[in-house]
Amino acid sequence: MRFTWFNLMPWPYLPADFREKNRSVWVDIDSRLFDPEKSHDVYNGYLDMLEYAGSLGFDGIGVNEHHQNAYGLMPSPNIIAASLARRTDDVALVVLGASIALYNPPLRVAEEFSMLDCISGGRLVAGFPVGTSMDTNYCYGTIPGLTRERYKEAHELIRRAWAEREPFAFNGRYTKLRYVNLWPRPIQQPHPPIHIPGGGSIETFDFCIDNTYSYSYLSFGGYIRGQALMQGYWDRVAERNAPDASPYRAGFAQTICVADTDADAERLYAKHVSYFYNRCLHVYPGFADAPGYRTIKTIQKGILSQYAPQTMFQELPWKELVENGSVIAGSPETVRQRMEDLIKKLRVGNIFCLFQIGDMPKDKCMHSTRLFAEQVMPKLRNVFPEYADDGRFWCKPLAKRATPAALRAESELAGVER
Amino acid sequence: MELKTVQTNRVPVRYYEGGSGRPLVFLHGAGGLDLDLDFLDALAQRFHVYAPLVPGYGDSEECAELRDMLDFTLHTWDVVERLGLKDPILAGFSMGGMIAGEMAAIAPNDVSRLALIAPAGLWLDQHPIPDIFAMLPFELPGYLFYDAEAGAKILSAGTDMSDPKFLQAFLVQNARQLGAAGKILFPIPERGLASRLYRIKAKTVLIWGEGDKLIPPVYAREFQRGIAGAEVVMIPRAGHVAPFEKPAEVIGAMARLQ
């Protein structure tokens, strides 16, 4: 099993009446709710948490990309990953990911991912999301009906840029480049492992299966609701005659809260979970799914956006969120049981664990994280022993990696030389 | 009106045909032809009407090769050509007006009569056009109709969003139709027409509902500034969907082109 400590970086200062007074947490969020001075502590606190998780034995620490979104403060996940590269060691940097259709030219993503891989010593796990409709269409203006074609072309360019050793001309419909000659190049060859976050479209299932990429379902609806979608994925893996059904072909995001007892979990975390589910997920349904973004085939399969009105979260109490699996919470033993249930039912080798939830402060988040790392994670390591050697979907760091020099010693040394 | 099919190089195109008189090609708006059928019947009393559907609208086949404004413009010229028409009166409503304007600008010697009904295609920062792609069904009538309440009843007739089957069909239709429209209207319904308007040689009439809340009438003056000799006809007590709300007045204005 591979556990990634994943942070969305929510803005923790949304007012209690946010839902009543605002139409959306995303796209046209009231920019006056953002306080740059407060954000200094928010960002640094989140970086502390990620680095802390990196020291506790998690396999990865993870970040992602959102725009104009009050539950995601990372329009550029690569900036966060770069800062994490320096103060962490031995842990994968999971960027899940950079929306490759949004960059002009998309070569930019190939370059930045190469830099991250080089700086971190081969610790990059790369993500290539199509991006939500909110980010891709409404915030970044990509035409919905052309988004997938643009994505496909960007993917082809990046893969070729990573693979080819001579400068080449790329005559795409959306990107035309005379001299593609990637510099720097990633340490991991032929390329860093690639994970694709998806929302259930058949095309994305097939894309992952055909390219040996890991499919990640980053839902907030929890594993019980996620089961049908993941079953659809595994059915597709079988239908397309993939050479194996390794659980590492799949990943799932899960909100997790661990305390000493079940009652403690509710007492400590319920209000922060409520902040997330009842304020942060308040997305205006008109932004959920730009017409043309989702293919007809996918709509006909009944796969709708998790932000669409039919599935949007109503004011949800703790008890219900825990029972329906949106949140796995409780004592280490309770959490272990439910996690095992999740892992087996969904057949997922990669778990993206969401411990920092809504406006949860650092101390509580670290408490929950540490209990999981010490008392839950070790007991879940061996659910799929037959696939223990499957390294296809994870990074392969250099054996010998640089460590940042101590700052004072360095300046003293400079003094001696002078 | 009869629903027929004509084949272009790329795709079979569905179109309505009816009436007699001078040929007139009518290009529909982003909402399709559903609201315009009575208007077309009335129009067919005076003209030989051809109303092609943009690929993806109604029951017509989608066409992935139509990606940008030039594709839409040339595609519609292909349709005119395949219908065997020479210099028909070119009329377009909203998105259709944008396409008709582009057609007249790109081939000015092939269009001598042009009727643009509340066309899209220009953008004024002081008068931003609301984002139809982020609207929920219940928000539309307020922008489309002069009488929003009556409009809401018309749009919701026979719809039941709580029925999953209906909802799915609705979403598929939206994805097909507005997905196609988005190629030239998303995220801003402007693709450079302003810089090409000067090429239009056609006798042009600009027809606008005085109460248009989607593309406000100030845009009529902007089109008029760009097209030499263009005439503006404002229709009182009409919103954006003037052909639906005031068909006789709109047809009367179009008849000035004869």
- Confidence label for A301 from pLDDT (cuts 50, 70 and 90): confident
CB contact under 8 A, A296 and B135: no
Smallest Cβ–Cβ distance between A146 and the set B67, B134, B139 belongs to B67
pLDDT at A303: 64
The whole-number average pLDDT for the span A173-193 is 97
Would you state the structure tokens that stand for residue B73, as one six-digit string?
């413009």
**How many other C-beta atoms lie within 10 A of the C-beta of residue B227?**
22
What is the pTM assigned to this prediction?
0.94
CB contact under 8 A, A291 and B182: yes
The whole-number average pLDDT for the span A286-310 is 78
Q: What percent of chain A has pLDDT over 70?
A: 94
| C-beta of residue B15 within 8 angstroms of C-beta of residue B50 | yes
Q: What residue type is A134 in one-letter code? A: M
**CATH code, domain with B240:** 3.40.50.1820
| Closest to B10 (Cα-Cα) out of B58, B69, B55 | B55
Whole domain around residue A346: which residue ranges? 2-417
Would you state the structure tokens that stand for residue A113, as one six-digit string?
């991912």
A405-414, B150-159, B198-207, B214-223: the lowest-pLDDT one: A405-414
Cα nearest neighbour of B179 on chain A: A292
Report CA-CA distances (Å) from A291 to A25, A218, B180: 20, 22, 9
Smallest Cβ–Cβ distance between B183 and the set A145, A289, A290 belongs to A145
B187 to chain A, any CB pair closer than 8 A? The answer is yes
Beta strand pairing status for A2-6 and A60-63? parallel
CA dihedral defined by A389, A392, A393, A395, rounded to 10 degrees? 90
The nearest CA of chain A is from the CA of B180 a distance in Å of: 7
pLDDT in tens, A244-285: 999 999 999 999 999 999 999 999 999 999 999 999 999 999
CB contact under 8 A, B168 and A302: yes
pLDDT > 70? residue B255: yes
pLDDT at B127: 98
| β-bridge partners, A336 | none
pLDDT in tens, A120-146: 999 999 999 999 999 999 999 999 999
CB pairs under 8 A between A and B: 65
pLDDT > 50? residue A414: yes
- Residues in chain B with CB shorter than 8 Å from the CB of A203 are none
pLDDT > 80? residue A315: no
CB contact under 8 A, A292 and B67: no
CA dihedral over B196, B197, B202, B205, signed as positive or negative: positive
Count of domains observed in chain B: 1
Report CA-CA distances (Å) from A69 to A28, A72, A103, A289, B92: 8, 5, 19, 16, 39
B171 to chain A, any CB pair closer than 8 A? The answer is yes
Q: Residue A330: enclosing H or E segment and its boundaries?
A: strand A327-330
- Residues in chain B with CB shorter than 8 Å from the CB of A290 are 133-134, 182, 186
First-to-final CA distance of chain A? 52
Q: What residue type is A16 in one-letter code? A: A
pLDDT > 60? residue A311: no
Count of domains observed in chain A: 1
Smallest Cβ–Cβ distance between B134 and the set A138, A146, A293 belongs to A138
**How many other C-beta atoms lie within 10 A of the C-beta of residue B191?**
20
Whole domain around residue B128: which residue ranges? 2-255
The whole-number average pLDDT for the span A363-387 is 98
Instruction: Tell me what the pLDDT averaged over chain A comes to.
Output: 94
pLDDT in tens, A6-30: 999 999 999 999 999 999 999 999 9
For residue B199, give the 3-state DSSP assignment. Answer: helix
**CATH code, domain with A108:** 3.20.20.30
CB contact under 8 A, A292 and B182: yes
- Residues in chain B with CB shorter than 8 Å from the CB of A284 are 134
pLDDT at A313: 47
Distance in angstroms (rounded) separating the CA atoms of residues A203 and A221? 22
Cα–chain-centroid distance for residue A123?
A: 15
- Confidence label for A299 from pLDDT (cuts 50, 70 and 90): confident
What DSSP string describes B144-158? H-SSHHHHHHHHHTT
pLDDT in tens, B93-110: 999 999 999 999 999 999
Report the 3 state secondary structure along A277-293: HHHHCCCCHHHCCCCCC
pLDDT at A310: 41
The whole-number average pLDDT for the span A150-179 is 98
